[in-house]
Amino acid sequence: MTWVVIIAVGVGSYLLRVLPLFVGGRFLSSPRAERIIAQAGTAALAALIASGVDRSAATSTDVVPTWVCAAAALVVAIRGGSMLRVLAAAAITYAAVWAAMSVLS
């Protein structure tokens, strides 16, 4: 599954770079097309992360922190945060929830 996404992003990136040579750039200059192109990489990364969330919890004690940090990252992403802020929110949330669960158990 991961390789399919990586190859699809590579082909899509290549097509987006070559397409203006064939269509003269008139179709790709619209604000909608520019917005889609700008968010394609972030969308591909989000798809890779989302597809791996269920496999990332190696032990039963990792399940809750994994899902809570994924939810926190989703909230930051929906609010328009940068990728750095999304990753920081996920890391901080994971560490806090993991530490809290370690103290409580």
pLDDT of residue 93: 94
Amino acid identity at 15: L
Give the Cα separation of 72 and 93 in Å (integer): 7
Does the pLDDT at position 40 exceed 90?
no
Give the Cα separation of 59 and 56 in Å (integer): 9
pLDDT band, very low/low/confident/very high, at 37 (cuts 50, 70, 90): confident
CA distances for 50 relative to 45, 73, 74, 89, angstroms = 9, 11, 10, 16
Average pLDDT over residues 16-35: 72
pLDDT of residue 100: 93
- Whole-model pTM above 0.85? no
pLDDT of residue 23: 72
pLDDT of residue 89: 93
Return the domain boundaries, the chain: 1-55, 57-105
pLDDT band, very low/low/confident/very high, at 97 (cuts 50, 70, 90): very high
Does the pLDDT at position 83 exceed 90?
no
Lowest mean pLDDT among 4-8, 60-64, 99-103: 60-64
Give the Cα separation of 93 and 44 in Å (integer): 23
